[in-house]
A = this chain, B = another copy of it.
Protein backbone atom coordinates (compact mmCIF):
# COMPACT_ATOMS: atom_id res chain seq x y z
CA UNK A 1 0.00 0.00 0.00
CA UNK A 2 1.32 3.40 -1.05
CA UNK A 3 2.05 6.01 1.61
CA UNK A 4 0.14 9.22 0.85
CA UNK A 5 1.85 12.61 1.08
CA UNK A 6 0.49 16.14 1.08
CA UNK A 7 2.42 18.01 -1.58
CA UNK A 8 0.47 21.25 -1.71
CA UNK A 9 -2.41 23.13 -0.12
CA UNK A 10 -4.60 26.07 -1.10
CA UNK A 11 -7.43 28.18 0.31
CA UNK A 12 -9.56 31.08 -0.72
CA UNK A 13 -10.53 33.65 1.86
CA UNK A 14 -13.44 32.26 3.86
CA UNK A 15 -16.11 34.93 4.01
CA UNK A 16 -18.99 36.63 2.28
CA UNK A 17 -18.49 36.39 -1.47
CA UNK A 18 -21.97 36.07 -2.95
CA UNK A 19 -20.77 37.29 -6.34
CA UNK A 20 -18.34 34.39 -6.78
CA UNK A 21 -19.44 31.05 -8.25
CA UNK A 22 -18.42 27.68 -6.89
CA UNK A 23 -16.15 27.05 -9.85
CA UNK A 24 -14.46 30.43 -9.41
CA UNK A 25 -13.80 29.75 -5.73
CA UNK A 26 -12.56 26.21 -6.32
CA UNK A 27 -10.24 27.20 -9.16
CA UNK A 28 -8.48 29.74 -6.94
CA UNK A 29 -7.87 27.25 -4.13
CA UNK A 30 -6.93 24.41 -6.46
CA UNK A 31 -4.45 26.43 -8.51
CA UNK A 32 -2.89 27.68 -5.26
CA UNK A 33 -2.54 24.06 -4.10
CA UNK A 34 -0.97 22.99 -7.40
CA UNK A 35 1.45 25.93 -7.25
CA UNK A 36 2.28 25.15 -3.62
CA UNK A 37 2.95 21.53 -4.59
CA UNK A 38 5.42 22.42 -7.35
CA UNK A 39 3.93 19.49 -9.27
CA UNK A 40 3.15 19.96 -12.98
CA UNK A 41 -0.59 20.40 -13.32
CA UNK A 42 -0.67 17.78 -16.05
CA UNK A 43 0.59 15.17 -13.61
CA UNK A 44 -2.71 15.35 -11.71
CA UNK A 45 -4.51 12.12 -12.62
CA UNK A 46 -7.75 12.32 -10.65
CA UNK A 47 -9.96 14.97 -9.08
CA UNK A 48 -12.10 14.38 -5.99
CA UNK A 49 -14.45 17.19 -5.07
CA UNK A 50 -16.66 17.86 -2.05
CA UNK A 51 -19.74 20.04 -2.13
CA UNK A 52 -22.94 20.00 -0.14
CA UNK A 53 -25.65 22.16 -1.64
CA UNK A 54 -24.89 23.62 -5.05
CA UNK A 55 -28.11 22.05 -6.36
CA UNK A 56 -29.96 24.55 -4.19
CA UNK A 57 -27.47 27.44 -4.18
CA UNK A 58 -26.44 27.39 -7.83
CA UNK A 59 -28.90 25.01 -9.54
CA UNK A 60 -25.79 23.00 -10.40
CA UNK A 61 -25.09 19.29 -10.05
CA UNK A 62 -22.46 17.21 -11.88
CA UNK A 63 -19.72 19.37 -10.42
CA UNK A 64 -16.91 16.81 -10.72
CA UNK A 65 -16.10 17.53 -14.36
CA UNK A 66 -17.03 21.20 -13.93
CA UNK A 67 -14.42 21.66 -11.21
CA UNK A 68 -11.80 19.65 -13.05
CA UNK A 69 -12.41 21.82 -16.10
CA UNK A 70 -12.08 24.98 -13.99
CA UNK A 71 -8.42 24.15 -13.41
CA UNK A 72 -7.66 22.87 -16.89
CA UNK A 73 -8.10 19.18 -16.12
CA UNK A 74 -11.36 18.53 -17.97
CA UNK A 75 -10.42 15.08 -19.20
CA UNK A 76 -9.52 13.61 -15.82
CA UNK A 77 -11.76 11.30 -13.79
CA UNK A 78 -13.60 13.66 -11.46
CA UNK A 79 -16.28 12.83 -8.91
CA UNK A 80 -18.24 14.94 -6.45
CA UNK A 81 -18.76 13.51 -2.98
CA UNK A 82 -21.52 14.76 -0.70
CA UNK A 83 -21.79 13.99 2.96
CA UNK A 84 -23.35 17.21 4.23
CA UNK A 85 -20.76 19.16 6.24
CA UNK A 86 -18.21 16.38 5.86
CA UNK A 87 -18.37 16.39 2.07
CA UNK A 88 -14.73 17.29 1.47
CA UNK A 89 -13.57 15.26 4.46
CA UNK A 90 -15.16 12.29 2.69
CA UNK A 91 -13.67 13.43 -0.63
CA UNK A 92 -10.24 13.52 1.00
CA UNK A 93 -10.76 9.99 2.25
CA UNK A 94 -11.63 8.80 -1.26
CA UNK A 95 -8.52 10.57 -2.57
CA UNK A 96 -6.38 8.74 -0.02
CA UNK A 97 -7.98 5.46 -1.11
CA UNK A 98 -7.24 6.24 -4.76
CA UNK A 99 -3.53 6.50 -4.04
CA UNK A 100 -3.48 3.62 -1.56
CA UNK A 101 -5.16 1.40 -4.17
CA UNK A 102 -2.42 2.28 -6.63
CA UNK A 103 -4.88 3.85 -9.07
CA UNK A 104 -3.16 7.25 -9.25
CA UNK A 105 0.04 8.90 -8.03
CA UNK A 106 -1.12 12.52 -8.00
CA UNK A 107 -4.64 13.48 -6.91
CA UNK A 108 -6.28 16.87 -6.51
CA UNK A 109 -8.92 16.98 -3.78
CA UNK A 110 -10.89 19.88 -2.43
CA UNK A 111 -14.24 21.45 -1.93
CA UNK A 112 -16.18 24.65 -2.28
CA UNK A 113 -19.47 26.12 -1.16
CA UNK A 114 -21.42 29.18 -2.14
CA UNK A 115 -24.02 30.08 0.47
CA UNK A 116 -24.40 33.80 1.06
CA UNK A 117 -26.20 34.34 -2.25
CA UNK A 118 -29.14 32.48 -0.64
CA UNK A 119 -29.39 34.90 2.27
CA UNK A 120 -29.47 33.76 5.90
CA UNK A 121 -32.96 32.28 5.84
CA UNK A 122 -32.37 30.58 2.49
CA UNK A 123 -29.05 29.14 3.63
CA UNK A 124 -30.57 27.88 6.87
CA UNK A 125 -33.33 26.15 4.94
CA UNK A 126 -30.83 24.67 2.49
CA UNK A 127 -28.61 23.44 5.32
CA UNK A 128 -31.59 21.58 6.73
CA UNK A 129 -31.31 18.96 3.97
CA UNK A 130 -28.46 17.51 6.02
CA UNK A 131 -31.10 16.38 8.55
CA UNK A 132 -33.83 13.80 8.01
CA UNK A 133 -36.45 15.52 5.84
CA UNK A 134 -39.25 13.14 6.77
CA UNK A 135 -38.66 12.80 10.48
CA UNK A 136 -36.85 15.97 11.54
CA UNK A 137 -37.15 18.83 9.06
CA UNK A 138 -40.90 18.51 8.59
CA UNK A 139 -41.20 18.67 12.38
CA UNK A 140 -39.49 22.06 12.28
CA UNK A 141 -35.92 21.14 13.18
CA UNK A 142 -33.11 23.35 11.87
CA UNK A 143 -29.48 22.88 12.85
CA UNK A 144 -29.32 25.57 15.54
CA UNK A 145 -32.35 23.86 17.06
CA UNK A 146 -30.84 20.39 16.79
CA UNK A 147 -27.58 21.44 18.42
CA UNK A 148 -29.56 23.30 21.09
CA UNK A 149 -31.20 19.97 21.94
CA UNK A 150 -27.77 18.35 22.13
CA UNK A 151 -26.43 21.14 24.37
CA UNK A 152 -29.42 20.87 26.68
CA UNK A 153 -29.02 17.10 26.88
CA UNK A 154 -25.32 17.56 27.66
CA UNK A 155 -25.99 20.14 30.41
CA UNK A 156 -28.67 17.90 31.92
CA UNK A 157 -26.45 14.84 31.91
CA UNK A 158 -23.07 16.33 32.77
CA UNK A 159 -23.54 19.92 33.91
CA UNK A 160 -22.01 23.01 32.34
CA UNK A 161 -23.61 26.21 31.16
CA UNK A 162 -23.63 28.88 28.47
CA UNK A 163 -20.49 30.49 29.87
CA UNK A 164 -18.54 27.28 29.27
CA UNK A 165 -19.67 27.36 25.65
CA UNK A 166 -18.80 31.05 25.36
CA UNK A 167 -15.19 30.22 26.25
CA UNK A 168 -15.02 27.96 23.19
CA UNK A 169 -16.13 30.84 20.96
CA UNK A 170 -13.73 33.27 22.63
CA UNK A 171 -10.82 30.86 22.13
CA UNK A 172 -11.58 30.26 18.46
CA UNK A 173 -12.06 33.94 17.71
CA UNK A 174 -8.71 34.65 19.39
CA UNK A 175 -7.00 32.02 17.23
CA UNK A 176 -8.47 33.48 14.05
CA UNK A 177 -7.15 37.00 14.60
CA UNK A 178 -3.92 36.16 12.77
CA UNK A 179 -5.49 33.94 10.09
CA UNK A 180 -5.80 35.98 6.90
CA UNK A 181 -8.19 33.38 5.44
CA UNK A 182 -10.65 33.68 8.35
CA UNK A 183 -14.09 35.25 8.09
CA UNK A 184 -13.78 36.90 11.53
CA UNK A 185 -10.32 38.15 12.42
CA UNK A 186 -11.34 39.76 15.66
CA UNK A 187 -11.51 38.83 19.31
CA UNK A 188 -14.70 38.58 21.28
CA UNK A 189 -15.23 38.44 25.06
CA UNK A 190 -17.26 36.02 27.13
CA UNK A 191 -19.59 38.89 27.99
CA UNK A 192 -20.19 39.70 24.32
CA UNK A 193 -20.94 36.06 23.60
CA UNK A 194 -23.38 35.79 26.49
CA UNK A 195 -25.08 39.07 25.59
CA UNK A 196 -25.51 38.23 21.90
CA UNK A 197 -28.97 37.45 20.53
CA UNK A 198 -30.30 34.00 21.36
CA UNK A 199 -30.89 31.76 18.34
CA UNK A 200 -32.14 28.54 19.92
CA UNK A 201 -31.63 28.44 23.68
CA UNK A 202 -28.87 27.78 24.80
CA UNK A 203 -27.29 28.45 21.38
CA UNK A 204 -26.63 32.18 21.01
CA UNK A 205 -25.27 33.98 17.98
CA UNK A 206 -21.67 33.46 19.05
CA UNK A 207 -22.24 29.75 19.60
CA UNK A 208 -22.94 29.28 15.90
CA UNK A 209 -20.55 29.33 12.96
CA UNK A 210 -21.35 31.90 10.27
CA UNK A 211 -22.62 31.39 6.73
CA UNK A 212 -19.56 31.35 4.53
CA UNK A 213 -18.42 31.17 0.92
CA UNK A 214 -15.05 29.64 0.18
CA UNK A 215 -12.94 26.83 -1.17
CA UNK A 216 -10.01 24.65 -0.19
CA UNK A 217 -7.78 22.17 -2.00
CA UNK A 218 -4.96 19.72 -1.42
CA UNK A 219 -2.59 17.95 -3.82
CA UNK A 220 -1.76 14.42 -2.69
CA UNK A 221 1.02 12.28 -4.11
CA UNK A 222 2.14 8.74 -3.59
CA UNK A 223 5.39 8.11 -1.74
CA UNK A 224 6.98 6.76 -4.90
CA UNK A 225 6.00 9.79 -6.99
CA UNK A 226 7.30 12.18 -4.32
CA UNK A 227 10.63 10.38 -4.22
CA UNK A 228 11.01 10.05 -7.95
CA UNK A 229 10.20 13.72 -8.58
CA UNK A 230 11.92 15.05 -5.47
CA UNK A 231 8.68 16.69 -4.27
CA UNK A 232 8.97 18.62 -1.01
CA UNK A 233 6.08 16.98 0.85
CA UNK A 234 7.01 16.50 4.48
CA UNK A 235 3.45 15.85 5.69
CA UNK A 236 2.13 12.28 5.49
CA UNK A 237 -1.50 11.15 5.75
CA UNK A 238 -0.86 8.59 8.45
CA UNK A 239 -4.44 7.65 9.26
CA UNK A 240 -7.96 7.90 7.92
CA UNK A 241 -11.22 6.92 9.57
CA UNK A 242 -14.92 7.40 9.05
CA UNK A 243 -17.95 6.55 11.15
CA UNK A 244 -21.69 6.82 10.81
CA UNK A 245 -24.80 7.11 12.91
CA UNK A 246 -28.55 7.31 12.47
CA UNK A 247 -29.40 10.51 10.58
CA UNK A 248 -32.21 11.61 12.88
CA UNK A 249 -31.50 12.58 16.49
CA UNK A 250 -34.55 10.62 17.63
CA UNK A 251 -32.88 7.39 16.55
CA UNK A 252 -29.82 7.88 18.78
CA UNK A 253 -29.28 6.36 22.22
CA UNK A 254 -28.07 9.71 23.58
CA UNK A 255 -28.05 13.33 22.43
CA UNK A 256 -25.01 14.07 24.61
CA UNK A 257 -22.47 11.94 22.77
CA UNK A 258 -21.37 11.39 19.18
CA UNK A 259 -20.41 7.76 18.54
CA UNK A 260 -19.78 8.37 14.82
CA UNK A 261 -16.77 10.45 15.86
CA UNK A 262 -15.63 7.72 18.25
CA UNK A 263 -15.75 5.19 15.42
CA UNK A 264 -13.94 7.45 12.98
CA UNK A 265 -11.24 8.22 15.55
CA UNK A 266 -10.72 4.59 16.50
CA UNK A 267 -10.22 3.65 12.85
CA UNK A 268 -7.87 6.57 12.23
CA UNK A 269 -5.75 5.90 15.33
CA UNK A 270 -5.45 2.25 14.36
CA UNK A 271 -4.61 3.17 10.79
CA UNK A 272 -1.87 5.56 11.95
CA UNK A 273 -0.77 3.23 14.71
CA UNK A 274 -0.94 5.97 17.33
CA UNK A 275 -3.00 6.77 20.41
CA UNK A 276 -4.80 9.98 21.26
CA UNK A 277 -1.86 10.98 23.45
CA UNK A 278 0.36 11.29 20.38
CA UNK A 279 -1.76 14.10 18.92
CA UNK A 280 -0.13 17.54 19.21
CA UNK A 281 -2.79 19.73 17.61
CA UNK A 282 -6.37 19.27 16.56
CA UNK A 283 -8.86 20.88 14.21
CA UNK A 284 -12.41 19.86 15.12
CA UNK A 285 -15.81 20.50 13.61
CA UNK A 286 -17.15 23.32 15.83
CA UNK A 287 -20.20 24.24 13.76
CA UNK A 288 -21.63 25.11 17.17
CA UNK A 289 -19.63 25.54 20.38
CA UNK A 290 -21.24 22.43 21.90
CA UNK A 291 -20.00 20.46 18.86
CA UNK A 292 -16.39 21.19 19.86
CA UNK A 293 -17.08 19.89 23.35
CA UNK A 294 -18.67 16.71 22.01
CA UNK A 295 -15.81 16.26 19.53
CA UNK A 296 -12.94 16.50 22.00
CA UNK A 297 -14.68 13.93 24.17
CA UNK A 298 -15.48 11.52 21.35
CA UNK A 299 -11.92 11.79 20.02
CA UNK A 300 -10.68 10.62 23.41
CA UNK A 301 -9.03 13.80 24.68
CA UNK A 302 -11.56 13.95 27.51
CA UNK A 303 -13.87 11.51 29.21
CA UNK A 304 -17.57 12.01 28.63
CA UNK A 305 -18.72 15.06 30.58
CA UNK A 306 -15.17 16.38 31.07
CA UNK A 307 -14.71 18.35 27.85
CA UNK A 308 -17.05 21.18 28.76
CA UNK A 309 -14.42 23.03 30.81
CA UNK A 310 -11.48 22.57 28.45
CA UNK A 311 -11.57 26.03 26.87
CA UNK A 312 -12.43 27.84 30.09
CA UNK A 313 -9.53 26.15 31.84
CA UNK A 314 -7.23 27.12 28.96
CA UNK A 315 -6.33 23.54 28.13
CA UNK A 316 -7.38 23.84 24.49
CA UNK A 317 -6.36 27.47 23.96
CA UNK A 318 -3.51 28.54 21.72
CA UNK A 319 -0.92 28.28 24.44
CA UNK A 320 -2.55 25.48 26.35
CA UNK A 321 -1.26 21.92 26.47
CA UNK A 322 -3.76 20.62 23.87
CA UNK A 323 -4.57 23.33 21.33
CA UNK A 324 -7.83 22.87 19.45
CA UNK A 325 -8.78 24.89 16.36
CA UNK A 326 -5.68 27.02 16.03
CA UNK A 327 -7.15 28.06 12.67
CA UNK A 328 -10.08 29.72 14.40
CA UNK A 329 -12.31 26.74 13.73
CA UNK A 330 -15.60 26.85 11.90
CA UNK A 331 -16.74 29.39 14.49
CA UNK A 332 -14.36 32.17 13.51
CA UNK A 333 -12.63 30.98 10.36
CA UNK A 334 -16.01 30.27 8.79
CA UNK A 335 -17.82 27.22 7.46
CA UNK A 336 -18.21 27.07 3.68
CA UNK A 337 -19.72 23.62 4.11
CA UNK A 338 -18.20 21.67 1.24
CA UNK A 339 -14.81 23.35 1.73
CA UNK A 340 -14.51 22.76 5.46
CA UNK A 341 -13.08 19.23 5.49
CA UNK A 342 -10.15 19.85 3.20
CA UNK A 343 -9.87 23.34 4.72
CA UNK A 344 -9.07 21.75 8.07
CA UNK A 345 -6.44 19.61 6.37
CA UNK A 346 -4.90 22.70 4.77
CA UNK A 347 -4.68 24.44 8.17
CA UNK A 348 -3.26 21.36 9.90
CA UNK A 349 -0.68 20.90 7.15
CA UNK A 350 0.50 24.50 7.47
CA UNK A 351 0.60 24.24 11.25
CA UNK A 352 2.81 21.14 10.98
CA UNK A 353 5.01 22.57 8.23
CA UNK A 354 5.61 25.71 10.24
CA UNK A 355 4.16 28.16 7.73
CA UNK A 356 0.92 28.95 9.56
CA UNK A 357 0.64 32.16 11.58
CA UNK A 358 -0.11 30.06 14.64
CA UNK A 359 2.69 27.55 14.05
CA UNK A 360 4.74 29.26 16.77
CA UNK A 361 2.24 27.92 19.31
CA UNK A 362 3.19 24.33 18.38
CA UNK A 363 6.86 24.46 17.31
CA UNK A 364 7.54 20.81 18.11
CA UNK A 365 4.28 19.38 16.83
CA UNK A 366 4.66 16.24 14.75
CA UNK A 367 1.10 14.88 14.73
CA UNK A 368 -2.16 16.62 13.87
CA UNK A 369 -5.74 15.39 13.89
CA UNK A 370 -8.61 16.76 11.81
CA UNK A 371 -12.24 16.01 12.61
CA UNK A 372 -15.00 16.81 10.14
CA UNK A 373 -18.62 16.03 10.99
CA UNK A 374 -21.88 16.02 9.05
CA UNK A 375 -25.36 16.92 10.26
CA UNK A 376 -25.73 16.23 13.96
CA UNK A 377 -22.70 13.94 13.58
CA UNK A 378 -24.41 11.24 11.55
CA UNK A 379 -21.15 11.28 9.61
CA UNK A 380 -17.66 11.84 10.95
CA UNK A 381 -14.30 11.73 9.20
CA UNK A 382 -10.99 11.82 11.07
CA UNK A 383 -7.53 12.14 9.57
CA UNK A 384 -4.11 11.95 11.20
CA UNK A 385 -1.24 13.89 9.66
CA UNK A 386 2.40 13.46 10.60
CA UNK A 387 5.28 15.70 9.61
CA UNK A 388 8.83 14.54 9.02
CA UNK A 389 11.27 17.18 10.22
Contact = CB atoms under 8 A, between A and B. Distances in A.
Interface string A1-45: 100000000000000000001000000000000000000000000
A133 interface: yes
B83 A80 contact: yes
A82 B83 contact: no
A198 interface: no
Chain A binding site: helix, strand, loop or mixed by DSSP? Answer: mixed
Interface stretch (A48-56, A272-280, A313-321, A363-371): A48-56
Contacts of A97: 94, 97-98, 101, 103
B246 A65 contact: yes
Given A60-B133, A244-B74, A246-B74, A65 B378 contact: yes
A150 interface: no
27 contacts: A1-B101, A1-B102, A53-B61, A55-B129, A60-B132, A60-B133, A61-B130, A62-B83, A62-B129, A63-B82, A64-B90, A65-B246, A69-B246, A74-B245, A74-B246, A75-B245, A75-B259, A77-B243, A79-B81, A79-B90, A81-B82, A82-B82, A97-B97, A97-B101, A98-B101, A100-B102, A100-B103
A131 to B, nearest CB: 7
A226 interface: no
A229 interface: no
Interface in A113-147: 128-134, 137
Contacts of A81: 79-82
A251 B83 contact: no
A190 interface: no
A287 interface: no
A337 to B, nearest CB: 10
A121 to B, nearest CB: 15
B244 A64 contact: yes
A263 B134 CA distance: 41
Given A62-B378, A97-B101, 20 more contacts: A53-B55, A55-B55, A55-B129, A59-B133, A62-B82, A62-B129, A62-B374, A62-B375, A62-B379, A64-B82, A65-B245, A65-B247, A65-B374, A66-B247, A73-B244, A75-B245, A79-B82, A79-B93, A100-B101, A100-B102
A244 B103 contact: no
A383 B82 CA distance: 23
Nearest to A21: B134
A77 B130 CA distance: 16
A75 B244 contact: yes
A68 interface: yes
A384 interface: no
Contact of A58 (B80, B133, B244, B245): B133
Nearest to A242: B77
Contacts of A281: none
A297 B356 CA distance: 51
A111 to B, nearest CB: 13
7 smallest CB-CB distances across A and B, nearest first, come from A77-B242, A62-B84, A100-B101, A61-B129, A55-B55, A101-B101, A65-B378
Contacts of A101: 1, 97-98, 100-101
Interface in A185-208: none
A229 B208 CA distance: 49
A108 interface: no
